[in-house]
A and B are shown apart, each in its own frame.
Chain A
Amino acid sequence: QKEVEQNSGPLSVPEGAIASLNCTYSDRGSQSFFWYRQYSGKSPELIMFIYSNGDKEDGRFTAQLNKASQYVSLLIRDSQPSDSATYLCAVQTGGSYIPTFGRGTSLIVHP
């Protein structure tokens, strides 16, 4: 059973702070990792993906991957109220062509 675990939250951070969203996964054979953002009443949209250990930065977003610890995180710098949404982690193993999604973490950025 492939599992992707996320704290459901809500995670509440003040505007301008760094929001840290975490995700753990059970399958050591996992190779591709994705973060999606889902606003209330909308469908998920891809933020970024990461394959290699370490950090990957894209604007205010940084994905961090540690395969030894089976852990992937998303950092949002200078958080804005418009970042308030549910963030979904998705993990794909090499043996599957589709990812497994976590339940998502609700993020609230308050002014």
Chain B
Amino acid sequence: SAVISQKPSRDICQRGTSLTIQCQVDSQVTMMFWYRQQPGQSLTLIATANQGSEATYESGFVIDKFPISRPNLTFSTLTVSNMSPEDSSIYLCSVGAPTGSGNTIYFGEGSWLTVV
């Protein structure tokens, strides 16, 4: 499976600021996704990062709050804008690899954000 690196791994952010998370994959991948995992909760898909076009957002997530870029097949960024304490979460970059009849999701190391 691909090696997925995320930066920053952790950060403490001030309310009202924005932070950009970078995700680098060591090989070209078609499918890249961004997930959020709030404390004690499961993984929630934020959006699919589409190379060369706008990301596809899941219900409850909007581009103004979570702008995503994907300039090529190995790199993506997620920005968490105008942060509030409710945005304190783990943000996970992931890639999908075709496996049998479905796609297996592999995760990066995650970015732990605390908003104060």
Contact = CB atoms under 8 A, between A and B. Distances in A.
A67 to B, nearest CB: 13
Contacts of A97: 31, 96, 102-103
- Looking at chain B's contact residues, the main secondary structure is strand
Nearest to B58: A98
B100 A49 contact: yes
A103 B41 contact: yes
B90 A90 contact: no
Interface of A: 31-32, 34, 41-46, 49, 51, 88, 90, 92, 94, 97-99, 101-104
Contacts, number: 59
- Looking at chain A's contact residues, the main secondary structure is loop
A98 B45 contact: yes
Contact of A49 (B31, B99, B110, B112): B99
Interface string B88-116: 00101000100111111111111010000
A92 B45 CA distance: 13
A102 B42 contact: yes
A98 B33 contact: yes
